[in-house]
Structure 1
Amino acid sequence: MSYIKRNLENVINQVTNEYPVVLVTGSRQVGKTTMLQKLMEGTKRGYVTLDDLNERALAKSDPELFLQLHKPPVLIDEVQYAPELFAYIKMNVDKNHKPGAFWLTGSQIFKLMRGVQESLAGRVAVLSLTSLSQAEIAGAEMEPFTIEMEMLAARKAGRTEMDTRGVFERIYKGSMPAIVSGVNSNSQIFYSSYLSTYIERDVKELSDAIDSLKFLRFITAVAARCGQMVNVAEIARDADINQTQAKDWLGILETLGIIFYLRPYSNNLLKRLVKTPKLYFYDTGLVCYLTKWSSAETLESGAMNGAILENYVVAEIRKTYLNCGKDPYMYYYRDKDAKEIDVVLEHDGILNPIEIKKTSNPGTELTKVFGLLDKASTPRSKGAVVCMKPALGAIDRDNYIVPVWMI
């Protein structure tokens, strides 16, 4: 299997020289360990995984001895299994003051972050790794996605141009490294195994009272509502659980890095806005498996094609920020009159509105809603329609046409 270079490598190399602890979080199978072991080649850094039950037991029962056996510089994999280590890592760091002493990975983000905040505040660089982005698959360098013509034109370099069918093939197969690299050629078999082997096991780590069949019904109900405002009552009804369970289980999916939320944009000058977040999956291959699409062709012409395309684009934009070690300030706009803007990017004191459509011929009618942001205290700048048109273009001077493959 050929290694696919990750954009986050550049950030890891930078922060390793600045922070004593580097923590890489992300869901299972996105390539955290593979990437860090690649960066370790030719160095004296050791490696230990807490998936090994013997190592985990020692880390929990005698963390001081564990760190004597695994001296820094060291990579500790799946560190969330032994939060007892954090206090001893802190003592080691405070005593020795060596940048890059500890590389940590973890797949349970909230639980992990809580331990880090309590013990390693100011000593740790926290980075997020997602499944592969379009740019990484194409072997291109990545910058955070912004609506500036010079930056958009530069994005074409190294990208792989895709038609509508190619985009839906990518959406259907997903972007997990094992699928993209060809190690697993059948995405449906991969995601079936992924659910039973990883998600189910990690879910039970967080809550051992969860029934596996009910959780499968639950995550399927969530996938059927990707790109929609969260409706806990409907999800609970479909999964045959109560609303408290549904809220708790949504928290678990977010903790495991399976889903994320887009919060509604608001400020005190914009009235009558909704307050409910929209829900997205990091990987659309998992969505397609759970919602039982049999092929990219049936997905492309199916009832969910718009929602899953929107999920894909929102996730790809988010990845361009996370893979550069930056927080994405992404929102959506919706008011009580149901007028909506799919994505609002906020950066450098401006707002960029974005519409996502499965069309190859977008017109001015798609950008009229952008004016809803003119009453906001933050000024509106250029807008864009992300769509299936094959080439970068413009609707007018203020609104660009961006092909999906260029994100």
Structure 2
Amino acid sequence: MFTRNLLPQLAEELQHSSAVALLGPRQSGKTTLALEAAKAIPSIYLDLESERDRAKLAQPELYLADHLDKLVILDEVHRTPALFPVLRGLIDQARRNGRRVGNYLLLGSAALDMLQQSGETLAGRIAYLELGPLNLLETGPTQRDTLWLRGGFPESLTAPSDTRSLRWWQNFIRSYLERDIPQFGPRIAADTLRRFWTMLAHHQSGMLNVTQLARNIGVDVKTAQSYVDLLCDLLLVRRLPPWHANIGKRLVKTPKVYVRDSGLLHALLDIETKETLLSHMVLGASWEGFCIENLLQCAPANVQGYFYRTSGGAEIDLLLVWPGGDIWAIEIKRSLTPKVERGFHAACDDLLPVRKLVVYPGQETFPLGHDIIATPLFDLCRELAEQPNPPQ
């Protein structure tokens, strides 16, 4: 059993918000976290993928009105979009009566439907939280290599062997392609989308070239863009945006693309063991994506992530930009003796970051010169998690 770092924030939101949407990929642990948060308060749980539970909501106003004194957890709520106006009415009625009842926790496997539906009907009444797969702070540093290989989805991470973990991922991918994705968008041939998804995995940490992807898969650019959008909305792929600033440089303006979970990345590439990973051409890109996902998960929600690249070769793998404007420049190296290239120094001269860091797979923190610090991934994740506010 893992303790999720999001638990205190979820508990706080449930105390102050009439409705909370907890978004994350299927099987990332949303239900477990919701039930953990509900232990201390009267609650009921409805799985809207269950016909039995959906039948209880045949007349939702009557059913939910009988449970105004409880936290109502609605799992896979995108399956019943007609509920959103009902929830709005119950929340508004409670407000008019001067009571803060009708507390709802909505669980969804995608960002797009939940944001569209709840945004239209529950504006000003709902808080949003995103739960990703397990991160390094939640598993502990001794699990780093297993977490990197298998990914952070609990059933994959805790599988009895690497073979069983890969088998779980194969079933996960098939389920998404054949059952889940058709719920959220136009009908897409499973084989076509799987080939597209695998191409993204081969292109891990590369610049997103939708035109080239469309050409390789034999579809038009608009269709290929819709595939990328869908996988991003399902919280399975990340477009890391480039940093833009008026600094008199020619900046790269195309986002980089990552399969967000390293276990999913490896499953798409049929990588089963660490030995196979270490000899695979995706090794460096996989480590980079793994570090970026962990750092963004552990950083405060008001911190934004970017990369930086100029046409002249200045480059930083990850910029963390704080609300006050401070920038942390982070380079990611898969070496126990990390060295910083000229491009990182040039980029730091452009941006003047307040912190210059190199994340590497070692165990010690040490200076590299020029105010650059080499730090283990776990230590930087912990430092970010301990900063609820922007650093001064």
Regarding TM over 0.5, the answer is: yes
Using the TM superposition, give the Cα deviation of residue 123 of structure 1 relative to its aligned residue in structure 2, in angstroms: 1.3
> How far apart, in 2, do the equivalents of 1:57 and 1:208 lie?
27
Which of residues 313, 327, 332 is equivalent to 1:351? 327
CA contact (8 A) 1:30 1:177 kept: yes
CA contact (8 A) 1:137 1:180 kept: no
Q: Deviations over 1:230-261 (max 9, x none)?
A: 11122223333322221111111111111112
Using the TM superposition, give the Cα deviation of residue 372 of structure 1 relative to its aligned residue in structure 2, in angstroms: 2.4
Which residue number in structure 2 is paired with residue 24 of structure 1?
Answer: 22
Which residue number in structure 1 is paired with residue 336 of structure 2?
Answer: 360
Which residue number in structure 2 is paired with residue 155 of structure 1?
Answer: none
Segment of structure 1 superposing worse, 261-270 or 389-398: 389-398
Which residue number in structure 1 is paired with residue 354 of structure 2?
Answer: 381
Residue 316 of structure 2: SS of its match in structure 1?
strand
Residue 264 of structure 1: SS of its match in structure 2?
coil
Q: 1:58 to 1:234 in 2, by over 3 A?
A: farther
Which residue number in structure 2 is paired with residue 95 of structure 1?
Answer: 93
Using the TM superposition, give the Cα deviation of residue 205 of structure 1 relative to its aligned residue in structure 2, in angstroms: 0.7
Q: Please list, as runs of the form range in 1=range in 2, the aligned pairs for 1:246-261 lying within 5 A after superposition.
A: 246-261=224-239
Using the TM superposition, give the Cα deviation of residue 56 of structure 1 relative to its aligned residue in structure 2, in angstroms: 4.1
Aligned identity (percent) is 28
> How far apart, in 2, do the equivalents of 1:58 and 1:338 lie?
60
Q: Please list, as runs of the form range in 1=range in 2, the aligned pairs for 1:33-48 lying within 5 A after superposition.
A: 33-48=31-46
> How far apart, in 2, do the equivalents of 1:42 and 1:391 lie?
40
Matched, 1:12 2:14: no
CA contact (8 A) 1:355 1:367 kept: no
> How far apart, in 2, do the equivalents of 1:69 and 1:240 lie?
54
Matched, 1:328 2:303: yes
Q: In the alignment, residue 80 of structure 1 is paired with which amino acid?
A: H
Q: Deviations over 1:352-374 (max 9, x none)?
A: 111111111123x4365244244
CA contact (8 A) 2:204 2:282 kept: no
Q: 1:100 to 1:314 in 2, by over 3 A?
A: farther
Residue 93 of structure 1: SS of its match in structure 2?
helix
Which residue number in structure 2 is paired with residue 136 of structure 1?
Answer: 138
Q: 1:69 to 1:234 in 2, by over 3 A?
A: farther
TM-score normalized by structure 1? 0.85
> How far apart, in 1, do the equivalents of 2:348 and 2:369 lie?
18
Which residue number in structure 1 is paired with residue 157 of structure 2?
Answer: 180
Relative contact order, CA 8 A, sep 6+: which one is greater?
Answer: 1
CA contact (8 A) 1:178 1:184 kept: no
Q: In the alignment, residue 211 of structure 2 is paired with which amino acid?
A: A
Q: 1:19 to 1:270 in 2, by over 3 A?
A: farther
> How far apart, in 2, do the equivalents of 1:256 and 1:100 lie?
28
Residue 93 of structure 2: SS of its match in structure 1?
helix
Residue 288 of structure 1: SS of its match in structure 2?
helix
Matched, 1:64 2:64: no
Which residue number in structure 1 is paired with residue 268 of structure 2?
Answer: 290
Which residue number in structure 2 is paired with residue 122 of structure 1?
Answer: 124
Q: Deviations over 1:127-184 (max 9, x none)?
A: 000000001012xxxxxxxxxxxxxxxxxxxx43x7xxx63x4322111111233478
Q: Deviations over 1:307-354 (max 9, x none)?
A: 111110111111113xx6x14311000112343210111114211111
Q: 1:191 to 1:327 in 2, by over 3 A?
A: farther
Q: 1:297 to 1:405 in 2, by over 3 A?
A: farther
> How far apart, in 2, do the equivalents of 1:119 and 1:402 lie?
45
CA contact (8 A) 1:18 1:99 kept: no
Q: 1:208 to 1:380 in 2, by over 3 A?
A: closer
Using the TM superposition, give the Cα deviation of residue 297 of structure 1 relative to its aligned residue in structure 2, in angstroms: 1.0
Using the TM superposition, give the Cα deviation of residue 74 of structure 1 relative to its aligned residue in structure 2, in angstroms: 0.7
> How far apart, in 2, do the equivalents of 1:90 and 1:182 lie?
41
TM-score normalized by structure 2? 0.88
Residue 241 of structure 2: SS of its match in structure 1?
strand
Q: In the alignment, residue 197 of structure 2 is paired with which amino acid?
A: I
CA contact (8 A) 1:18 1:100 kept: no
Q: In the alignment, residue 357 of structure 1 is paired with which amino acid?
A: K
Q: In the alignment, residue 284 of structure 1 is paired with which amino acid?
A: S
Which residue number in structure 2 is paired with residue 149 of structure 1?
Answer: none
CA contact (8 A) 1:332 1:343 kept: yes
Which residue number in structure 1 is paired with residue 148 of structure 2?
Answer: 171
Q: Deviations over 1:36-83 (max 9, x none)?
A: 112222532011111124544775x75434534665421011111222
> How far apart, in 2, do the equivalents of 1:214 and 1:69 lie?
47
* Structure 2 portions without partners, runs of 5+: 382-392
Cα root mean square deviation, aligned: 2.2
Count matched residues. Answer: 373
Segment of structure 1 superposing worse, 394-403 or 129-138: 394-403
Segment of structure 1 superposing worse, 248-257 or 335-344: 335-344
Matched, 1:398 2:375: no
CA contact (8 A) 2:315 2:343 kept: no
